[in-house]
């Protein structure tokens, strides 16, 4: 279901393959990349890694360290240059059309295996909201686990926080504060996708609770100036099976995973995946 463009592989390194996946409804070609575990590593699952980028930036090559770390844990990782705020708006629904198409692509490929792989979704930063939204759009049994890295799980509350960072009111309500110029840049990109605060409120309400009872790991930085933990506390409470707050760390962990967090993800996977099959 995708045209292979290139392939690299060695016995000790993560392999990669470029493909394209047709989007449902309009046939738009979605550029994707598959990261494959080293040859000596047993494949125990698959995951759709949804990149971050302020809802309007990023592509299939974003966060390569995260994708490679997941592959080294024995996961087939697919990333995608889906349509976000760089080419469409929230109200168009094109982003969900693309995300569901990639999930469908995996299901088709997985059905051809003798032993079907457990399928999960990982979302980083703004990709966290996309991941939550996708999970709630999928049917029961289509996804087995979810992991979120510093997720912008509540776009509306994050926008309110950014506005306060810009305005610097005397009653500032957060324990961290982004620089005004950086906060303005992030908010502008977020609005490029959502257009209005009302749309952000609607987007938040859509993921306020989970439609599926699946294991969910949430990793947050205790001093994250991009997404303070208190901004998404209610989403944590309703979704997360386990939340790990990393002391002294900020938003950088969603782009470069420290070794101890890779180990935490490995333990999470061991809890879910018993023998590499469903």
Within 10 Å of residue 273's Cβ, how many Cβ atoms?
20
Phi, psi of 123 (to 5 degrees): -125, 135
Check residue 87 and report its DSSP letter.
T
178, two tokens: 């982004």
pLDDT at 184: 97
pLDDT at 276: 42
73, two tokens: 């844990």
Contacts of 260 (CB under 8 A, 6+ apart): none
Q: How far is the C-alpha of 166 from the C-alpha of 177, rounded, in Å?
A: 9
Q: Which residues of the chain have pLDDT under 70?
A: 1-11, 274-278
Candidates 137, 154, 124, 112; CA nearest to 47 is 124
pLDDT at 274: 65
Q: What is the pLDDT of residues 5-27, one digit of tens each?
A: 445 555 679 999 999 999 998 99
Decide: 106 and 118 in contact? Cβ < 8 Å: no
Check residue 98 and report its DSSP letter.
H
pLDDT at 278: 46
Rg (CA), the chain: 18
Interhelix angle 197-206/180-194, rounded to 10 degrees, is 80
pLDDT at 99: 98
Q: Rounded to an integer, what is the distance from CA 155 to the centroid of its chain?
A: 14
Q: How far is the C-alpha of 257 from the C-alpha of 120, rounded, in Å?
A: 18
Q: Rounded to an integer, what is the distance from CA 263 to the centroid of its chain?
A: 19
Sort residue 53 into left (φ over 0), alpha (ψ -120 to 50) or beta: left
Check residue 118 and report its DSSP letter.
P
pLDDT at 114: 82
pTM beyond 0.85:
yes
């Amino acid at each position: 279901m995708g045209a292979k463009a290139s392939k690299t592989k060695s016995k000790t390194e993560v392999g990669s393959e470029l493909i394209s996946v047709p989007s449902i409804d309009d046939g738009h070609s979605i550029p994707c990349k598959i990261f494959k575990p080293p040859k000596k590593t047993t494949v125990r699952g698959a995951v759709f890694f949804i990149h971050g980028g302020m809802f309007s930036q990023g592509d299939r090559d974003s966060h390569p360290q995260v994708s490679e770390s997941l592959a080294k844990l024995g996961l087939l990782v697919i990333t995608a240059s889906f349509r976000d705020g760089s080419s469409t708006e929230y109200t168009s629904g094109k982003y969900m059309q693309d995300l569901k198409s990639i999930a469908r692509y995996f299901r088709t490929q997985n059905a051809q295996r003798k032993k079907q792989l457990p399928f999960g979704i990982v979302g980083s930063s703004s990709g966290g909201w996309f991941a939550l939204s996708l999970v709630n759009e999928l049917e029961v049994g289509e996804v087995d686990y979810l992991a979120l890295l510093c997720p912008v799980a509540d776009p509306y509350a994050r926008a309110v926080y950014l506005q306060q960072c810009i305005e610097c009111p005397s009653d500032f309500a957060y324990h961290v504060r982004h620089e005004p110029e950086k906060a303005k840049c992030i908010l502008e990109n977020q609005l490029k996708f959502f257009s209005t605060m009302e749309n952000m409120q609607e987007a938040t309400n859509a993921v306020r609770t989970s439609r599926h009872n699946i294991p969910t790991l949430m990793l947050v930085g205790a001093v994250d100036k991009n997404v303070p933990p208190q901004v998404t506390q209610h989403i944590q409470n309703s979704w997360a099976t386990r939340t790990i707050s990393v002391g002294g760390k900020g938003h950088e962990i969603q782009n470069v995973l420290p070794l101890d967090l890779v180990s935490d993800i490995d333990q999470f996977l061991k809890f879910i995946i018993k023998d590499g099959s469903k």
